[in-house]
């Protein structure tokens, strides 16, 4: 089985050249799994670094695992293909290994265009116009089991106009597998109940303060690989936006376990997730920390360490709440009282 190493590269506030250099450095260290997204606006730089590495013979395409994501203003079967085509063009690839629906909430593309794309992350003034309520199984594909002659005719009409859901991308070899991100259990179940190709992967925030045990069990039952974003608890984001909340990388339990193994807190946090068979996406643009996050395969947490780490899960602390999106009918988390 091909081994997929710890991953990096998501949204980060660095310059474009810093981004490309981080990918090149990661490739030199041995990273082979890169996580991108249409909305991160990083695909061109990732693509340039990958292209250089492949052209110089440093890596082969088949050794890479590239993920990217469908943005919320393309959550529509009519727009899926267009979004993927853009990502492939920026990445300079003819296929991606994994394509995820980035978030369950869907934004009206024309309305967003009219008010300005920079407003995508702000609380909308007119939520009814901003959000559409798109059935996720339609973005995926209509299940053959529920097809009638009418459905077949509708589908033929859709295909004529290049309306293609996620499953069609697999059929055409443009993506190797498809999955979901930031979906809750009920939303995933709805896709499973109405699909031909099951989601292969679920990417969610997951770390020692948010262990997502129930969701992991659910994924295991359905043979869905769980991938953790923010595995280190995104320290800079946590400090900037979650004032008063504990910072996971500074937790004394994590430090104590690390001291025992002569490993850093970040390495302990990654190792704890890997031992739960969770794929990890630590982000870094720093050469030393890139290497540090990669060196997590030469030690193991024992039962006592795991037990101690598990106590942190009682905090159940989610740093990424996507609060401006609480007005969407598809908001995946319990809403705050203010909404």
Q: Which residues are known to be catalytic? A: 40
Distance CA 235, CA 279 (A): 19
Nearer to ligand A2P, 77 or 258 (CB): 258
Residue 297 touching ligand A2P (CB under 6 A): no
Distance CA 48, CA 36 (A): 13
As separate numbers, helices (DSSP H) first and strands (DSSP E) second, the chain gives: 15, 9
Distance CA 301, CA 183 (A): 30
In whole angstroms, how close is the CB of 10 to ligand A2P at the nearest point? 7
Residue from 7, 87, 132, 293 that binds ligand A2P (CB under 6 A)? 293
DSSP states of 145-178: GG--HHHHHHHHHHHHTT---HHHHHHTTSEEEE
Distance CA 88, CA 146 (A): 32
Nearer to ligand A2P, 286 or 311 (CB): 286
φ/ψ (deg, to 5) at 107: -110, 140
Nearer to ligand A2P, 93 or 249 (CB): 249
Residue from 233, 271, 274, 312 that binds ligand A2P (CB under 6 A)? 233
Tokens of 330: 């598809």
Using CB under 6 A as the binding rule, the residues of this chain from 79 to 98 that contact ligand A2P are none
Which residues share a beta bridge with 99? 68, 178
Residue 7 touching ligand A2P (CB under 6 A): no
C-alpha distances out from residue 224 to 22, 58, 81, 170, 216, Å: 29, 31, 23, 17, 9
Residue 23 touching ligand A2P (CB under 6 A): no
Give the closest residue to 91 by CA, choosing from 67, 58, 75: 67
Residue 42 touching ligand A2P (CB under 6 A): no
Residue from 49, 53, 166, 230 that binds ligand A2P (CB under 6 A)? 230
Handedness of CA 9, 12, 16, 21 (dihedral sign): negative
Residue 215 touching ligand A2P (CB under 6 A): no
The reply, when asked if residue 73 is annotated as ligand binding, is no
Residue 286 touching ligand A2P (CB under 6 A): yes
Residue from 132, 137, 164, 284 that binds ligand A2P (CB under 6 A)? 284
Residue 206 touching ligand A2P (CB under 6 A): no
Residue from 129, 176, 190, 289 that binds ligand A2P (CB under 6 A)? 289
Using CB under 6 A as the binding rule, the residues of this chain from 243 to 272 that contact ligand A2P are 249, 264, 266
Residue positions in the annotated binding site? 102
Residue positions in the annotated binding site for substrate? 102
Which residues make up the interface to ligand A2P (CB under 6 A)?
A: 230-236, 249, 264, 266, 282-286, 289, 292-293
């Amino acid at each position: 089985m091909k081994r997929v190493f710890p991953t990096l590269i998501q949204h980060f506030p660095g310059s474009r050249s810093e981004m490309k250099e981080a990918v090149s450095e990661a490739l030199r260290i041995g990273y082979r799994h890169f996580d991108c997204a249409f909305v991160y606006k990083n695909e061109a730089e990732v693509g340039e670094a990958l292209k250089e590495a492949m052209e110089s013979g440093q890596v082969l395409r088949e050794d890479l695992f590239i993920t990217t994501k469908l943005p919320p203003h393309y959550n529509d079967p009519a727009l899926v293909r267009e979004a993927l085509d853009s990502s492939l063009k920026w990445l300079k690839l003819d296929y991606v290994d994994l394509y995820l629906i980035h978030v369950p909430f869907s934004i009206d593309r024309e309305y967003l265009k009219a008010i300005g794309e920079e407003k995508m992350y702000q609380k909308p003034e007119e939520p009814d116009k901003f959000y559409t309520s798109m059935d996720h199984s339609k973005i995926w594909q209509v299940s053959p089991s529920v097809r009638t002659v009418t459905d077949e005719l509708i589908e033929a009409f859709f295909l004529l106009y290049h309306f293609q859901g996620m499953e069609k991308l697999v059929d055409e070899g443009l993506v190797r597998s498809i999955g979901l991100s930031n979906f809750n259990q009920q939303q995933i179940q709805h896709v499973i109940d109405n699909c031909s190709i099951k989601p292969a992967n679920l990417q969610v925030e997951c770390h020692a303060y948010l262990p997502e045990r129930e969701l992991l069990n659910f994924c295991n039952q359905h043979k869905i690989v769980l991938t953790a974003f923010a595995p280190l608890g995104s320290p800079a984001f946590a400090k900037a936006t979650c004032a008063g909340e504990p910072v996971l990388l500074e937790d004394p339990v994590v430090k104590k376990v690390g001291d025992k193994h002569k490993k850093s807190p970040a390495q302990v946090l990654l190792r704890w997730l890997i031992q739960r068979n969770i794929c990890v996406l630590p982000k870094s643009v720093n050469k030393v920390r890139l290497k540090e996050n990669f060196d997590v395969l030469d030690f193991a947490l024992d039962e006592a360490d795991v037990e101690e780490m598990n106590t942190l899960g009682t905090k159940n602390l989610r740093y990424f709440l996507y609060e401006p999106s609480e007005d969407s009918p598809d908001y995946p988390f319990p809403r705050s009282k203010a909404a």
